[in-house]
């Protein structure tokens, strides 16, 4: 009884809402590991149905049809594959840049408006996430088709068209940017919200014009947000399947579709899984590189708030 | 001030671009024409009638709801336990363990889909209810864990200590003290899990079978293979379901911000 009272007093004194004051930890002693038991179900499910499938993919990539690295040799020596890889990276980079350019002003505006407006702006950014990618892609298919309203307007106003919009890189990028924009805005906003608003007036007091002030003061301070938003959008973009499948052309497929094709159409498990491992390794490498570069960056840029 | 106006105009355009294009699906679903046409010609509810009288579409809807509800239950139960465990543990490798549970969020969907397809092929889980629920749990659970962890962070540990002091056991303390306090996070996590499962496409495409297809799989197959406008009506129905569930989640998390007395 006294022990608890002391602990409570310490907790109250330190005002440590998150608890775990040193006294507590010592007292719990050997019991400290018991919460590990709570993690067992999650650990088992993730290990069996997440880690094991990935290991399975890796094993298949080096054993199917026979043991060896022939699938990786095939991956890196087939020109068509390299074209797909370059196209996938190119599209992901394009989408990342477009998202950054669109999201930056939006996120900045969020930092200078009233709380009420900001909440609304955040809601508007989150709302598209409430509708499945499939439904949104379906909508773009209707809008972008040759007989669709966009081409209809172009014909009525400018007398041109129909311009091919669907089955083009433009269509794919448009759909991907719409889906990925929120993943850029949210980290940008959270890093911009931490920037002291007095810095820009201070810079101009010291003689910097708004452009210089922005590039030498504001932009560098918002770098963490640019990194985590950029990385999230880029790696999510690399793995997109539905949008390129429905808005792109079958002649310009991306890695995900190539993987699906190798496995479901050609039944080439080894080649498909080698491509999968390649995509996975690229994703992990980018994350590791960026988390090194960006010291307080989390491995889960989209998750931390 | 003019800069702010300019930014405001730009933001309005962004919001319009994010939200308006999706809405074309709604008039499309009331079209009288028998193919995708925009603007639609005339008004009819035939595609909704089609949906609600076609046993195949209804079966897909039922499968989706069944999978989503079961996924929600499993992901929430397991996720809440994991979040509780993580919040109580303090050791060096904790970050790694936490990262392990969140990893499914960043691994490309297609890679996991191929892996699950290969594994389920051997385990005879393809196109089965448990297969779908387990696959969807993997991608839903991280959302439950992050939501519940966020709730737990705002929880005063002295309340649990007080409950223990007054003689309540661990289980009783959890159900009468902890759970009510983190309820908003749990609710939001559960609803996110439901929507994630209800909308999941890539994993479902790989583990589907002719006997078990979820609604998104049926939509995808219909879009790529036929030109049936029924799909517009289905899209509106799934869109409404997701939006309603997410609005409830939004409402639940709003309450969280209210200071706990």
More confident of the two residues A292 and A143: A143
What is the value of pTM for the model shown? Answer: 0.87
Residue A16 pLDDT: 39
Please work out, in degrees rounded to the nearest 5, the angle formed at the alpha carbon of residue B11 by the alpha carbons of B185 and A105: 90
Q: Is residue B48 part of a domain?
A: no
d(CA A16, CA B26): 51
Helix (H, G, I), strand (E, B) or coil at B209: strand
The minimum CA-CA distance between A53 and chain B, rounded to whole Å, is 4
Q: Is residue B126 part of a domain?
A: yes
Which residues of chain A neighbour B90 with C-beta distances below 8 Å? Answer: 20, 25, 32
More confident of the two residues A14 and B155: B155
Q: Which residues are within 8 A (CB) of A229 and not within 5 positions of it... i.e. 6 or more apart? A: A99, A100, A103, A183, A184, A185, A186, A187, A188, A301
- The ipTM, to two decimals, is 0.90
Question: What is the share, in percent, of chain A residues with pLDDT greater than 90?
Answer: 57
Confidence of residue A6 (pLDDT cuts 50, 70, 90): very low
Domain assignment of residue B133, given as a range = 55-257
Residue B200 pLDDT: 95
Nearest CA in chain A to B26: A139
Which residues, numbered 240 to 269 in chain A, qualify as contacts with chain B under a Cβ-Cβ cut-off of 8 Å?
241-242, 245-246, 255-256, 259-260, 263, 269
Confidence of residue B255 (pLDDT cuts 50, 70, 90): low
The answer, yes or no, to whether residue A27 has pLDDT greater than 80, is: no
**Residue A52 contacts residue A60 (beta carbons within 8 Å):** no
The answer, yes or no, to whether residue A299 has pLDDT greater than 60, is: no
More confident of the two residues A237 and B2: A237
Domain boundaries defined on chain A = 63-293
More confident of the two residues B89 and B80: B80
Residue B51 pLDDT: 93
For the stretch A74-126, pLDDT in tens is 999 999 999 999 999 999 999 999 999 999 999 999 999 999 999 999 999 98
Q: Is residue B47 part of a domain?
A: no
Find out if CATH 1.10.3720.10 is the number for domain A63-293.
yes
Task: Please give the tally of structural domains in chain B.
Answer: 1
- Looking at residue B184, which CATH number applies to its domain? 1.10.3720.10
Confidence of residue A14 (pLDDT cuts 50, 70, 90): very low
Q: Is residue B59 part of a domain?
A: yes
Which residues, numbered 74 to 93 in chain A, qualify as contacts with chain B under a Cβ-Cβ cut-off of 8 Å?
none
More confident of the two residues A163 and B190: B190
Residue B34 pLDDT: 74
The minimum CA-CA distance between B78 and chain A, rounded to whole Å, is 6
For the stretch A33-62, pLDDT in tens is 788 899 999 999 999 999 999 999 999 999
Q: Is residue B60 part of a domain?
A: yes
Cα–Cα distances (Å) from B229 to A98, B40, B46, B57, in that order, read 33, 11, 10, 13
H or E element: which one contains A48? none
Burial of A80 (0-12, 13-18, 19+ CB in 10 A): exposed
Average of per-residue pLDDT across A247-261:
91
Residue A50 pLDDT: 97
Residue A203 pLDDT: 85
The answer, yes or no, to whether residue B91 has pLDDT greater than 80, is: no
Which residues, numbered 26 to 55 in chain A, qualify as contacts with chain B under a Cβ-Cβ cut-off of 8 Å?
32-33, 35-39, 41-43, 45-46, 49-50, 52-54
Question: Which residue is listed with tokens 């909308």?
Answer: B199
Residue A161 pLDDT: 72
Q: Is residue B28 part of a domain?
A: no
Which residues of chain A neighbour B145 with C-beta distances below 8 Å? Answer: 42
Which residues, numbered 93 to 122 in chain A, qualify as contacts with chain B under a Cβ-Cβ cut-off of 8 Å?
102, 105-106, 108-109, 112, 121
Residue A276 pLDDT: 97
Q: Is residue B240 part of a domain?
A: yes
Who among B101, B224, B246 is closest to A42 (CB)?
B101
Which stretch of A81-85, A295-299, B11-15, B215-219 has the lowest confidence by average pLDDT? A295-299
Who among A134, A143, A181 is closest to B18 (CB)?
A181
For the stretch B102-153, pLDDT in tens is 999 889 999 999 999 999 999 999 999 999 999 999 999 999 999 999 999 8
Question: What is the share, in percent, of chain B residues with pLDDT greater than 70?
Answer: 96
Who among A128, A246, A302 is closest to B19 (CB)?
A128
Q: A130, A187, A243: best mutation site toward chain B, by most B Cβ within 10 Å?
A: A130
The answer, yes or no, to whether residue A17 has pLDDT greater than 90, is: no
Q: Is residue B36 part of a domain?
A: no
């Amino acid at each position: 009884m006294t022990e608890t009272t002391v602990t409570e007093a310490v907790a109250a004194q330190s005002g440590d809402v998150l608890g775990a004051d040193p006294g507590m930890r010592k007292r719990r002693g050997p019991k400290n590991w018991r919460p590990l038991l709570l993690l067992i179900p999650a650990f088992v499910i993730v290990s069996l149905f997440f880690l094991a499938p990935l290991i399975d993919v890796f094993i298949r990539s080096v054993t199917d049809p026979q043991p060896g690295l022939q699938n990786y040799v095939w991956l890196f020596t087939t020109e068509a594959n390299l074209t797909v890889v370059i196209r996938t990276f190119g599209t992901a980079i394009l989408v990342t840049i477009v998202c950054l350019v669109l999201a930056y002003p939006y996120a900045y505006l969020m930092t200078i408006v009233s709380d009420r407006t900001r909440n609304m702006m955040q809601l508007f950014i989150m709302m598209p996430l409430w509708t499945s990618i499939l439904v949104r892609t379906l909508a773009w298919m209707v809008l972008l088709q040759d007989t669709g309203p966009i081409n209809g307007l172009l014909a009525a106003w400018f007398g041109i068209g129909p311009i091919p919009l669907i089955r083009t890189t433009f269509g794919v990028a448009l759909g991907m940017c719409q889906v990925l924009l929120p993943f850029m805005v949210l980290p940008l906003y959270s890093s911009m919200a931490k920037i002291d608003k007095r810095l820009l007036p201070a810079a101009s007091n010291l003689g910097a014009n708004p452009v210089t002030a922005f590039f030498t003061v504001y932009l560098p301070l918002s770098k963490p947000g640019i990194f985590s938003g950029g990385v999230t959008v880029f790696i999510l973009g690399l793995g997109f399947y539905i949008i390129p499948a429905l808005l792109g052309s079958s002649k310009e497929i991306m890695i995900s579709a190539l993987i699906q094709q190798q496995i479901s159409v050609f039944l080439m498990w080894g080649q498909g899984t080698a491509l999968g491992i390649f995509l996975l390794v690229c994703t992990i490498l980018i994350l590791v590189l960026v988390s090194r570069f960006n010291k307080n960056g989390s491995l889960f840029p989209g998750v931390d708030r | 001030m003019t800069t702010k106006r300019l930014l405001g105009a730009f933001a309005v355009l962004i919001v319009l671009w994010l939200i308006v294009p999706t809405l074309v699906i709604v008039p499309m679903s009331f079209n009288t024409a028998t193919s995708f046409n925009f603007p639609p010609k005339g008004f009819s509810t035939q595609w909704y009638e089609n949906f609600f009288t076609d046993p195949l579409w209804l079966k897909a809807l039922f499968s989706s709801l069944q999978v989503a509800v079961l996924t929600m239950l499993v992901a929430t139960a397991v996720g809440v336990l994991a979040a509780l465990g993580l919040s109580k543990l303090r050791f060096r490798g904790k970050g790694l363990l936490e990262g392990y549970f969140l990893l499914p969020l960043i691994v490309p969907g297609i890679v996991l889909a191929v892996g699950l397809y290969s594994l389920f092929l051997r385990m005879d889980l393809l196109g089965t209810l448990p297969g779908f629920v387990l696959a969807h749990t993997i991608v839903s659970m991280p959302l439950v864990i992050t939501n519940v962890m966020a709730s737990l962070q705002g929880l005063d540990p002295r309340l649990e200590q007080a409950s223990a002091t007054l003689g309540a056991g661990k289980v009783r303390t959890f159900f009468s003290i902890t759970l009510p306090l983190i309820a908003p996070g749990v609710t939001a996590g559960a609803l996110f899990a439901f929507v994630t499962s209800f909308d999941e496409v890539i994993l479902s495409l790989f583990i589907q079978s002719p006997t078990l297809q979820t609604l998104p799989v049926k939509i995808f197959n219909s879009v790529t293979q036929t030109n049936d406008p029924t799909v517009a009506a289905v899209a509106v129905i799934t869109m409404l379901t997701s939006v309603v569930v997410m609005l409830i989640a939004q409402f639940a998390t709003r309450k969280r911000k209210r200071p706990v007395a």
